[in-house]
Chain A
Amino acid sequence: MLSILFLTLILSLFWLLLSWQFAPFVLGCGVVSIALTLYLAQRMRVVDAESLPLNLSARIVWYWLWLAKEVALSNWDVARHIWGKRIHINPRVIQVKTPMKTPFGLMLYANSITLTPGTVCIDIEDGQVTAHALTDSAAAGLESGEMGEKIRRLGL
């Protein structure tokens, strides 16, 4: 019930921010669309405890800053490989153990891996991440497990 209320709030804010018009007709359209969205979300059973991320601590901001730094560094790395005279790449599939247990943590981990250029997450199965790495340094960075450790320390 709480998550439905939360979803309604988010959807109303979204509508108001995007339209920024307060004529009665436009507001009525908003109410109708929010009701329709809530009905569809109920029918698809996508409203559950996960859509209300209350257990996120404020420390995730530090994780995002660290991730931005990592993304910038590996962007530079991949760009250097692209502009280089000869392409020295060593693409391969690697497997890494994941320390986190919650679905949200796994999602965050997989998205972070893919967001970082040079590594693409392919699959997650029973605590094992299958990823594709472009270069040796990208593979080494993933195998060091630093990113997973940081997410685990967030309590996810």
Chain B
Amino acid sequence: METFLVLASTLCISMGVFLGITGAIGIFRMPNFFARLHAASVTDSGCAFMLLFGLMLQSGFTLATIKLCFILLFFLISSPTAAHALAKTALSCGAQPTSSPREER
């Protein structure tokens, strides 16, 4: 049982870290702001979920798990809101939502 828990949480944490690195590469490779926003959204939803879930598996039924749940719940509400606010403000300030061909790499 312990072995299974350790393996499962290691798997979850490494998945989360992999998604985080993916997002970090994404915000450098994507050609314009809106595409970068999508790359950042990968890390916000996936990386936080996997990492916190992996930590929850380790802490078991304690107060720490409840706090991790609160952090996760808050992320699930706040990260879409922040992404939406970014997209809306950028669009209202005139950022171009489509990438022109010259910017494609």
Given a CB threshold of 8 Å, the question of whether A touches B is answered with yes
Which A residues have a C-beta under 8 Å from some C-beta of B? 17-18, 20, 71-72, 75, 78-79, 82-83, 86-87, 89, 91-93, 110-111, 114-118, 120-123, 132, 134
How distant is B20 from chain A, measured CB to nearest CB, in Å?
A: 11
Which B residues have a C-beta under 8 Å from some C-beta of A? 19, 22-23, 25-26, 29-32, 34-35, 37-39, 41-42, 45-46, 63, 66-67, 70, 76-77, 79-81, 83-84, 87-88, 91, 97-99, 104-105
Contact partner of A114 (CB less than 8 A), chosen from B26, B39, B83, B97, is B83
Residue of A nearest to B82 (CB): A114
Contacting pair A132 B34 (CB below 8 A): yes
* Majority secondary structure of chain B interface residues (helix, strand, loop or mixed): helix
How distant is A83 from chain B, measured CB to nearest CB, in Å?
A: 7
Contacting pair B41 A17 (CB below 8 A): no
Contact partner of B83 (CB less than 8 A), chosen from A72, A120, A123, is A120
In whole angstroms, what is the CA distance A122 to B66 when docked? Answer: 32
Contacting pair A117 B42 (CB below 8 A): yes
Contacting pair A117 B45 (CB below 8 A): yes
Residue of B nearest to A80 (CB): B22
Given contacts A91-B32, A111-B77, A114-B83, contact A122 B63 (CB under 8 A): no
Residues in A whose Cβ lies below 8 Å from that of B99: 89, 91
In whole angstroms, what is the CA distance A18 to B68 when docked? Answer: 11
